[in-house]
């Protein structure tokens, strides 16, 4: 069981991460049945505090909380008093005053979730839903769950699997969290990107690095394409989109280089035609929609464990 806050994958032990995946598996079995709701978090209030746009993360946290019978308050910076200059501290304390037991925060600044937790401005549990270019721990957990589901068995770690992560590593909190988690779970990770889209110090990460996508595709079990994050790019990182696509984009020709068992992942939102072609996104090997579906079970597991869910077996009898 994880306890406290969820700020970074670095804070999780391997057993804790596998425990969250196992809880997600149990919860998926329950919520895939006719009764989707559990009474576990009845009376708890979860605030989605989003200073950056989101579709998947915000909606899946909301769905997860509601399936556990919690009350949900959705806060979006757009249209709020943040536009009048209200600070993170005052915003968070305002929401705490309305009874938040957990705050799920997405923020453009790396470290925002940790600041909220460390300063103790609020007493609620803090869950990092993406902070700047730093981390997106629940995305990594749902990605690990998806890989486990497709290529391993329930409870297994990811030893023996080759995962290739391709694209805008520099700006990607998804890449950082996935490198930490997938290597912790035993996978071998290779990063593929132009040198301009690799962060300073990447040579110290526990990964291999390649600049040639075609060379690594034949031996990988998972190819995870990353979004080119144009909104975070102040400079030009590659000559043209066409050139980027030609060298680093996933297309039908590259799909044919993959092993028959290999899967294609993308955290979304996708730039179809840039880092991934429409045919690749919709190919039978693509598990992008599964990732979204699994996000609900994994976020249920995170809320369940952090907010003190009781043993799952007694929950089953309480299904509503
Ligand atoms: N993968 C992800 O974080 O998507 P959203 O930005 O839509 O939440």
Per-residue burial over 151-188, b if 16 or more Cβ lie within 10 Å, else e, is bbeeeebbeebbbbbbbbbbbbbbbbbbbbbbbbbebb
Query: CA separation (Å) from 25 to 68, 127, 174, 290, 315?
Result: 15, 20, 22, 13, 14
Q: What is the per-residue pLDDT for 310?
A: 60
Looking at residue 188, the DSSP 8-state letter turns out to be E
Confidence of residue 36 (pLDDT cuts 50, 70, 90): confident
For residue 268, pLDDT beyond 70: yes
Tokens of 110: 């790396």
Biggest CA–CA distance in the chain, Å, is 59
Q: What is the per-residue pLDDT for 317?
A: 40
* Pair 174, 211: CB distance under 8 Å: no
- State in Å: Cα 318 to ligand 1 middle: 32
- State in Å: Cα 137 to ligand 1 middle: 12
- State in Å: Cα 244 to ligand 1 middle: 22
Q: What is the per-residue pLDDT for 266?
A: 98
- State in Å: Cα 269 to ligand 1 middle: 6
For residue 306, pLDDT beyond 80: yes
Distance of CA 274 to the CA centre of its chain: 21
Which residues are near ligand 1 (CB < 6 Å)?
54-57, 130, 139, 267-269
* Spatial separation of the C-alpha atoms in residues 173 and 175, rounded to whole Å: 5
Contact residues for 233 (Cβ-Cβ < 8 A; gap 6+)? 171
Q: Which atom of ligand 1 is nearest to the CA of 59?
A: 8
* Spatial separation of the C-alpha atoms in residues 281 and 41, rounded to whole Å: 36
Of 50, 130, 145, which is best to mutate to test ligand 1, by the most ligand atoms within 8 angstroms of its C-beta?
A: 130
The protein residue with its alpha carbon nearest to ligand 1, atom 1, reads 267
For residue 270, pLDDT beyond 90: yes
pLDDT in tens, 106-149: 999 999 999 999 998 999 999 999 999 999 999 999 999 999 99
The protein residue with its alpha carbon nearest to ligand 1, atom 5, reads 54
Contact residues for 247 (Cβ-Cβ < 8 A; gap 6+)? 194, 213
* Spatial separation of the C-alpha atoms in residues 229 and 226, rounded to whole Å: 9
Name the nearest CA neighbour of 312 among 102, 3, 22. Answer: 22
Task: Supply the pTM of this predicted model.
Answer: 0.95
Confidence of residue 308 (pLDDT cuts 50, 70, 90): confident
What residues are labeled active site? 56-57, 84, 106, 136
Q: How do beta strands 263-265 and 222-225 pair?
A: parallel
Q: Which atom of ligand 1 is nearest to the CA of 52?
A: 6
* Spatial separation of the C-alpha atoms in residues 144 and 9, rounded to whole Å: 12
pLDDT in tens, 223-247: 999 999 887 776 788 878 999 999 9
Of 267, 289, 291, 293, which is best to mutate to test ligand 1, by the most ligand atoms within 8 angstroms of its C-beta?
A: 267
- State in Å: Cα 122 to ligand 1 middle: 25
Q: What is the per-residue pLDDT for 311?
A: 57
Tokens of 64: 């997860």
Average pLDDT over residues 169-183: 97
- State in Å: Cα 6 to ligand 1 middle: 17
Q: Which atom of ligand 1 is nearest to the CA of 106?
A: 8
Phi, psi of 73 (to 5 degrees): -115, 125
The protein residue with its alpha carbon nearest to ligand 1, atom 4, reads 56
Q: Which atom of ligand 1 is nearest to the CA of 53?
A: 6
Name the nearest CA neighbour of 263 among 298, 242, 238, 294. Answer: 294
Q: What is the per-residue pLDDT for 133?
A: 95
The protein residue with its alpha carbon nearest to ligand 1, atom 6, reads 54
């Amino acid at each position: 069981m994880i306890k406290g806050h969820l700020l970074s994958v670095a804070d999780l032990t391997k057993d804790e991460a596998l425990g969250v995946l196992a809880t997600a598996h149990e919860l998926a079995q329950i919520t895939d049945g006719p009764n989707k709701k559990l009474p576990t978090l009845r009376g708890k209030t979860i605030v989605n505090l989003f200073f950056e746009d989101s579709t998947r993360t915000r909606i899946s946290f909301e769905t997860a909380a509601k399936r556990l019978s919690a009350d949900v308050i959705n806060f979006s910076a757009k249209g709020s008093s943040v536009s009048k200059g209200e600070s993170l501290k005052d915003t968070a304390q305002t929401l705490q005053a309305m009874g938040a037991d957990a705050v799920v925060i997405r923020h453009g600044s790396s470290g925002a979730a940790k600041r909220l937790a460390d300063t103790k401005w609020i007493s609620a549990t803090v869950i990092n839903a993406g902070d700047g270019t730093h981390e997106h721990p629940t995305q990594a957990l749902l990605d690990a769950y998806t890989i486990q589901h497709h290529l391993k068995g329930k409870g297994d770690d990811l030893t023996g699997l080759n995962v290739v992560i391709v694209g805008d590593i520099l700006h990607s909190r998804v890449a950082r969290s996935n490198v930490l988690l997938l290597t912790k779970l035993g996978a071998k990770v290779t990063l593929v990107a132009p040198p301009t889209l690799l962060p300073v110090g990447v040579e110290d990460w526990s990964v291999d690095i390649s600049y040639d996508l075609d060379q690594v595709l034949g031996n990988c079990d998972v190819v995870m394409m990353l979004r080119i994050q144009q909104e975070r790019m102040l400079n030009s990182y590659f000559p043209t989109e066409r050139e980027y696509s030609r060298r680093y984009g996933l297309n039908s020709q590259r799909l044919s280089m993959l092993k028959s068992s290999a899967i294609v992942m993308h955290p979304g939102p996708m730039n179809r035609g840039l880092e991934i072609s429409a045919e690749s996104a919709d190919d039978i090997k693509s598990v992008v929609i599964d990732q979204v579906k699994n996000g609900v079970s994994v976020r249920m597991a995170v809320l369940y464990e952090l907010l003190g869910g009781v043993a799952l077996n007694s929950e089953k009898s309480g299904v509503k």
